[in-house]
Structure 1
Amino acid sequence: MPAARFLVVLDADSTLIRNEVIELIADEVGRTAEVTAATEAAMRGDVDFATSLRSRVRMLAGVAVSAFPHVRARVEPTPGVEELIATAHSRGGTVAVVSGGFHEILDDIAPALGVDLWRANRLTAADGVLTGAVDGPIVDAEAKANALRTWAGERGVPLTQTIAIGDGANDLRMMAAAGLGVAFNAKPAVRAAADIVIGPVDLREVIPLLP
């Protein structure tokens, strides 16, 4: 991989994008309310993320894979995201996304926004419908921190030159691993632990923090 001056790693849901993708998928089978309540508890840190994700994904069993284009069409990029990414690139930075969400959606959204690297969970499907299971290890808090360290190493970026941006408890470890941890549109526990808190839901607010 080419070297970079610095690395910015964002969470996806409610950070890179305004939505919680699992809720959009659940809406396809009328289970939004149950999934939303479980997502809120996980983001506050009330329950273990991996356990919560598995229980929420079980609620997606039966969703047709053919629904994914409709779900992707409902995704709203967070205001300012394209400006942030373009500015980071103009200054020699790399922008990455690590998500407890899903490759099925991120593989379309991330490159369209100019993201360089991304990692997320994968859903399993059979006969054209979701089985209600996650394929492989879950991207949890430690996996997010490890992704930041790995990408920084591959791009020759010291950890002091990394910025992690997130909103939920699942982002705390990568924020702690980064040179600068930014709470964005964040839950109280995340705001309390962050180096910097950004209130407005506009990623242009991050631009002054770039090296």
Structure 2
Amino acid sequence: MPAPVRFLVVLDADSTLIRNEVIELIADEAGRGPEVAAATEAAMRGEVDFAMSLRSRVAVLAGVPVTALARVLDRIEPTRGVRDLIDAVHARGGRVGVVSGGFHEILDTVAPGLGVDVWRANRLGVADGALDGSIDGEIVDAAGKAAALREWAAEAGVPLRRTIAIGDGANDLHMMADAGLGLAFNAKPAVRARADVVVGAIDLAEVTALLP
């Protein structure tokens, strides 16, 4: 019989688990990188509705060949200390989840490679071997991130007071509020202002001291 899960750590993906904003890397393939980067920054600051912004940003990706996603994967950079943090969580009997407003097409490779236990993200619409500019299914927004944290905690038998949520953008605030401990990491000012703890260094190994 497996040992009970002692606690749960849930991270955002882009600019948290990894250093990149994946949608910007894909937009580079469409020649729209700067335009999408500006829209992403506004969404992460909470200045615009996340779901509406995501749909508009994904729309400009129409026509990018699916084969280009391999080049995007080659550009992914895990955040410093991420493997140290995940190893420490596992060593202490915890579980690691990642919930992202980004995309399964990238996270399905990155997450297991880093030792993440469970993950959830958006899926890009595809037609005739290219992105069609749509999102397939329900968008993972702020409410979706909080729902994932609660769902994974329930599945693991972990009370919410023994959960930690780590994020950088406005769409992480709901899950950070629901978690026992909400950590702002590499975060926008609005997120730092509402977090329980602000991690100053861009090094996820710093979080290990806060693990139960």
Q: TM-score, normalised on structure 2?
A: 0.98
For 2:7 and 2:209, locate their aligned partners in 1 and report how far apart those are by CA, in whole Å.
14
Q: Contact 1:144 / 1:171 at 8 angstroms: preserved in 2?
A: yes
Note the residue ranges of structure 1 that are not aligned, 5 or more in a row: none
For 1:125 and 1:136, locate their aligned partners in 2 and report how far apart those are by CA, in whole Å.
12
User: How far off is 1:84 after superposition?
Assistant: 0.2
For 1:41 and 1:20, locate their aligned partners in 2 and report how far apart those are by CA, in whole Å.
13
Q: Which amino acid aligns with 2:128?
A: D
Q: Which amino acid aligns with 1:177?
A: D
Q: Give the total of aligned pairs.
A: 211
For 2:4 and 2:109, locate their aligned partners in 1 and report how far apart those are by CA, in whole Å.
25
Q: Contact 1:103 / 1:119 at 8 angstroms: preserved in 2?
A: yes
Q: Which amino acid aligns with 1:186?
A: A
Q: Contact 1:2 / 1:155 at 8 angstroms: preserved in 2?
A: no
Q: Contact 1:96 / 1:117 at 8 angstroms: preserved in 2?
A: yes
For 2:14 and 2:118, locate their aligned partners in 1 and report how far apart those are by CA, in whole Å.
16
1:132 equivalent in structure 2: 133
Note the residue ranges of structure 2 that are not aligned, 5 or more in a row: none
For 1:135 and 1:56, locate their aligned partners in 2 and report how far apart those are by CA, in whole Å.
14
For 2:15 and 2:60, locate their aligned partners in 1 and report how far apart those are by CA, in whole Å.
21
User: How far off is 1:3 after superposition?
Assistant: 3.5
Q: Which amino acid aligns with 2:117?
A: D
Q: Which amino acid aligns with 1:83?
A: D
Q: Is structure 2 residue 155 aligned with structure 1 residue 154?
A: yes
Kindly provide the CA deviation profile for residues 134-158 of structure 1, in whole angstroms up to 9, marking residues without a partner as x. Answer: 0011000000000000000000001
2:108 equivalent in structure 1: 107
For 2:139 and 2:95, locate their aligned partners in 1 and report how far apart those are by CA, in whole Å.
24
SS at match of 1:96: strand
Q: Which amino acid aligns with 1:158?
A: P
Q: Which amino acid aligns with 1:207?
A: T
Kindly provide the CA deviation profile for residues 161-182 of structure 1, in whole angstroms up to 9, marking residues without a partner as x. Answer: 0000000000000000000000
SS at match of 1:19: coil
1:164 equivalent in structure 2: 165
User: How far off is 1:199 after superposition?
Assistant: 1.2
SS at match of 2:121: strand
Q: Which amino acid aligns with 2:167?
A: G
1:86 equivalent in structure 2: 87
For 1:117 and 1:191, locate their aligned partners in 2 and report how far apart those are by CA, in whole Å.
26
Kindly provide the CA deviation profile for residues 37-64 of structure 1, in whole angstroms up to 9, marking residues without a partner as x. Answer: 1000000000000000000000100000
Q: Which amino acid aligns with 2:186?
A: N
2:72 equivalent in structure 1: 71
Which structure 1 residue ranges, 4+ long, deviate > 4 Å from structure 2? Answer: none
For 1:85 and 1:161, locate their aligned partners in 2 and report how far apart those are by CA, in whole Å.
16
Provide the alpha-carbon RMSD of the alignment.
0.9
Kindly provide the CA deviation profile for residues 71-125 of structure 1, in whole angstroms up to 9, marking residues without a partner as x. Answer: 0010000000000000100000000000000000000000000000000000010
Q: Which amino acid aligns with 1:206?
A: V
Q: Contact 1:80 / 1:203 at 8 angstroms: preserved in 2?
A: yes
For 2:199 and 2:145, locate their aligned partners in 1 and report how far apart those are by CA, in whole Å.
20
Q: Is structure 2 residue 146 aligned with structure 1 residue 145?
A: yes
Kindly provide the CA deviation profile for residues 6-53 of structure 1, in whole angstroms up to 9, marking residues without a partner as x. Answer: 000000000000000000000011100110010000000000000000
Q: Which amino acid aligns with 1:52?
A: S
